[in-house]
Structure 1
Amino acid sequence: MDFFKRLFRIVLCSTAALVLIVGLSHKLQRRLESWGWISGQARYGDLYGFSCLRKFKEHELGQTDALEDSDKPVRRHGNVDLYIIGDSFTTMDTSFYAGDRNYHVWLEVNTDTVAPDPEKISVLVIEIIERNIQLRLKEDYQKVFFEQGFQVGVRKKLPEKLTQKSPSFWFCNLTEQTDRRMEYMLFNFRPILLIKELKAQLVLSLFGRTHPGAIISKNHEHLFYEAEASPKHNLSSFSVIPDSSIDTVVANMNAIRAHYRGLGFDDVYFCMIPNKVTVCEPERFQYNNQIARIERHPELQVPLLSIRNVISGHPEYFHKGDGHWNARGKRVWLKAVNRLVETLDKEM
C-alpha cells in the first residue's frame, strides 16, 4: 500500500511540474501543440475559447482560414518591391503578394533589415486593426515603427526593454497568460469542454452574460472581443475619442511616412481594418467613427489603402468563433494590396 501511495505522489508531483513548466513557456506550449500532445488554445477559435458557447465552436477553423494556391497572383510586378508591417490579420505567406520581392514583419514584434532598391518602387503598407489605433499610433509610435519594423542598413541593437519582451524558451513572467495556458492544458479536453459549454449556455440563458473576454451580439449571432465591443474599454469601437486624439494619430501617421521615406522607401500606405463588431454590429452603441475621422482629416498626408466600405456589413468575412477574418476576408486584403502593386507598376 505504501508503494502505491508513493507512486501516486510521484505521478501527481511530476504531472504538476510538467504543467507548470509548459505554463511558463509559451514556445514550449506551441511546440507541444504542433506535435498534438496537448490541445491548442484557439483550436476552435479564440472567442469560443473565451466563451465556451457551442454555437460558435469552429471545427474546421483551419480550413476556413487557409488560402489556396489559386489565391496567389498570376503575375508578379518586377518594378515594385512590397514591404508589409502588419498584425495578426496579415498571417499569409508573402508568396501571395504581387511584388517582385515581398517582405513582412509583425507589428511591434519583429524587426527586419532591408535595402530598398533605387531602381524599383519600394512601397510600404502598414496594416493595423481598429482597436489598436489609439494604442499603437499615440505615445509609443516611435518605438513601434522607428525602433522596430523595417531598418535600413546595419541592424541596430534594440533597447534592453524591448529585447526583454521575448521570453526564453523555458521561462517567462507569471502573468494572466500563464494562468490561461495552464487552464487550457488542464481543462480543455472533450468531457470537461462539454461541462463548460453547458455552464456557459446556462449563464447566457439565465443572466445574458458571457465569460469575460468575449461579448455576444444582441441577436446572439456573433461573438466579439470585450475590448472592442464594450464602451467601458478605451480601445472599443464605442469609446469616446476626442478630436485631439485623432489629431495626434494623424500627426504621427505623417511622421511615420516621413521617417520611412527618409530611409529610401518611395511611399507609405496605411490600411486600417475595422473591428469585427464594427462590421457586424456597428449600431450596438454609438459608434465613434474613428477610421472615417482619420481618413477625412484635413491634415492627413498619408495615402490610404481603405477597405472599410468593402467589408462593412459583411460578417461572413470573419470567423464566427474567432476575432479575426477568415480566408474570404484575407482575399479582400490581398486584392487591395495587389491592385496597388499593379497600379504602381503601371505608373513607373
Structure 2
Amino acid sequence: MKVVRVLVLLFFGMIWLAGCSNEILATLYRNEIIPDDYRYGDLYRLANLEEFKDPKAECPELPVSKPTQKIALYIIGDSFTEKQRIDSSDFAVTTYTWAHWGENLHFKLDTTFHNIILLESVERNVRPHFGAPIANIFPDSSTFITLPSDTRIMQRLDRMFASDGVEDRLNTILFQFDHMLKFREMKSWINQRFFDRTDPKVTLSGDGSTLAYYEDTDSTLINSSYNYVSDTEIDSLVAVINFNKKYLKKLGFDDVWFSIIPNKATVLMPTYGTYNRIIDRISRHPKLMVPNIGVMNEFRKMKQNAYLIGDSHWSCAGQRIWLEKVNLLVLGNSDI
C-alpha cells in the first residue's frame, strides 16, 4: 500500500507540476502525450457547445507570383498572422520574418532588398498596440526574435502559480481528451438550453448562430467593438500610426503599412451594441499617412464565411482575401 500511495502522490504531483509550467505543457504537446486543445477552435475550447465544434483544417496553398526584385517582408502581428496560420510561402517575397507584438524583433536590413514592414493588429488590440509608439523593434547585427527580459524571480513565480494559469493548464492536461469532451458538451448544452448560460469568456449571439470572444462584446473593455472611443482618441491613434511610419523609415524600411482585422463580433453581431466604428474612423482619418490593408467591406459581404465557426479567427477564405491584398501591394499592383 505504501508503494501505491507513493505512486499516486508522484502521479498527481507531476500533473500539478505540469499545471504550473508552460514549458512542461509544451513538451507534452510535442510528444503527443496530450491532444491539441485548440483543435476544434479556441471558442469551442471555452464554450464546449457541440454545434460550434470545428475541426482544424489546413488551408489550400495560395498561388503566389514571383517578385521581380528582392523583397524582404517583416510583420509585427497578432494571432491572425501567427506561424501556425501563415508562413513565407503565402507571400510574394524573397524573405519573410514574423514577430508577435509581445516579442522583440532584432533586425539587420539588407539594403539590396526592398524592405517592407507591416503592422497587423486584430481590432480588439488596436488601442493597446497603437496607444503608444512601437517599442519592440531594434536594429542589430543580425535578425532574430527574443522575448522581453524578466529577471525578477518573484514575478516569474507569481505567473507560475497564478490560479487562472494553473487552472487553464490543468484543464488542458486532464479534460481535453475526446472522451472527456463528450461530458463537457453535455454539461454546456444543459447550461445553455435550460439556464441560458455559457462560459463567461464567450458570447452567444441572440439567434444562437455565432460565438464570439467576450472581449469583443464586453462594452466595459477597451478591446470591445462596443466600447466608446472619442474623436480625440482616434486622433491620437492616427498620430501614433503616423509616428511609427516615420520612425521605421528612419530605421531603414522602404515601406511601412498597417492592417486592422475586424473582430468577429463586429462583422457577425452588428446589432449587439453601439459599434464604435474604430476601424473606419482610423482608415478614413484625413491625417492618416500610412497605407492601410483593410478587409472590412469584403468580410461584411462574406459574413460567416469570413470566420471559423468555433474560433475567433478568420477562415481560409477570409485569410485568402487578406493575403491577396497584401501580395498585390507587395508587387506594386495596388494603390491603396
Fold-level match, TM-score > 0.5? Answer: yes
Q: 1:285 aligns with which of 273, 297, 303?
A: 273
Is the 1:89–1:325 contact (alpha carbons within 8 Å) kept by the matching residues of 2? yes
User: Matched residues in 2 for 1:219 and 1:35: separation?
Assistant: 41
Letter in 2 for 1:51: A
1:68 corresponds in structure 2 to 60
Aligned residue in 1 for 2:22: 26
8 Å CA contact retained: 2:75, 2:117: yes
Aligned residue for 1:338?
327
Counterpart position of 2:75: 84
Alpha-carbon displacement from aligned partner over 1:142-200 (angstroms, at most 9, x marks no partner): 4xx23x13x323479x99x9312999xx9752221222111221222334322221121
Following superposition, the deviation at residue 132 of structure 1 comes to: 0.2
In structure 1, the gaps of 5 or more residues are none
The answer to whether the aligner puts 1:262 opposite 2:256 as a matched pair is no
| Alignment counterpart, residue 47 of structure 2, candidates 44, 51, 54 | 51
* Contact 2:123–2:262 (CA under 8 A) maintained in structure 1: yes
> In structure 2, what is the equivalent of residue 130 of structure 1?
123
**Partner-residue secondary structure (3-state), 1:104:** strand
Q: Quick one: distance in 2 between partners of 1:189 and 1:309?
A: 39
1:239-275 deviations in Å (ceiling 9; x for gaps): 1111122111111111111110001112211111100
Q: Which has the higher contact order (CA 8 A, sep 6+)?
A: 1
**Distance across 1 between alignment mates of 2:209 and 2:4:** 47
Which residue does 1:321 correspond to in 2?
A: 310
Residue 212 of structure 1 and its aligned partner are, at CA, apart by 1.3
In the superposition, the TM-score normalised over structure 2's length comes to: 0.89
1:338 CA drift (Å): 0.5
Identity %: 28
Is the aligned partner of 1:115 residue 2:109? Answer: yes
The answer to whether residue 209 in structure 2 is matched with residue 221 in structure 1 is yes
Contact residue 72 and residue 97 of structure 1 kept, 8 A: no
Is 1:104 aligned to 2:95, yes or no? no
> How many residues in Structure 1 have an aligned counterpart in Structure 2?
327
SS of 1:127's partner is strand
For the Cα contact (< 8 Å) 1:48–1:57, is it kept in 2? yes
TM-score (norm 1): 0.86
For residues 44 and 74 of structure 1, what CA distance do their matches in structure 2 show?
A: 32
Moved over 6 A (4+): none
SS at match of 2:258: strand
Alpha-carbon deviations, 1:53-97, whole Å to 9, x = none? 111112x31x1xx2334x141323424322211111113111221
The two structures, once aligned, show a CA RMSD in angstroms of 2.7
The answer as to whether partners of 2:34 and 2:177 remain within 8 angstroms in 1 is no
Q: C-alpha separation between the residues in 2 aligned to 1:215 and 1:124?
A: 34
Structure 2 contact 211–310 (Cα < 8 Å) conserved: yes
- 1:298 aligns to 2:293 (yes or no): no
Give CA deviations for 1:100-139 in whole Å, capped at 9, x if unaligned: 222222222242312142x44322111100000111111x
Give the corresponding residue for 1:185: 173
1:197-276 to 2 correspondences below 5 Å: 197-276=185-264
Q: What one-letter code is carried by the residue in structure 2 that aligns with 1:217?
A: S
